[in-house]
């Protein structure tokens, strides 16, 4: 089997994969959001500005309309009780 180093996965595909198992989603989170697009700018931020950036990130990281803009997501699931 050939595995690609990078693979584009849509949120609908993640939900489809979850549906194959007896699990329920707790959260789907964009772990980096727009950070990769602004990496150099963010790396140069002072502590106060970075704290504001993180406040912003935490307000949008669970917005379903923005999750797809993230380079990485975290699907937090829990096994359903039988």
CA dihedral 76→5→58→39, nearest 10 degrees, is: 170
Stated pTM of the model: 0.75
Rounded average pLDDT over 18-22: 95
Residue 82 has pLDDT above 80, yes or no: no
Per-residue model confidence as pLDDT tens digits over 37-60:
888 999 999 999 999 999 999 999
Question: What is the dihedral angle through the alpha carbons of 32, 36, 37, 41, rounded to the nearest 10 degrees?
Answer: 100
List the chain domain ranges: 11-79
At 73 the three-state DSSP class reads: strand
């Amino acid at each position: 089997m050939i595995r690609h180093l990078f693979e584009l996965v849509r949120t609908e595909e993640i939900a489809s994969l979850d549906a194959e198992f007896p699990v329920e989603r707790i959260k789907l989170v964009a772990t980096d959001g727009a950070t990769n697009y602004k990496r150099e700018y963010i790396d140069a931020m002072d502590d106060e500005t970075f704290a504001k950036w993180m406040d912003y990130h935490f307000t949008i990281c669970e917005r379903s309309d923005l999750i797809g803009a993230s380079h990485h997501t975290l699907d937090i699931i829990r096994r359903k009780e039988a």
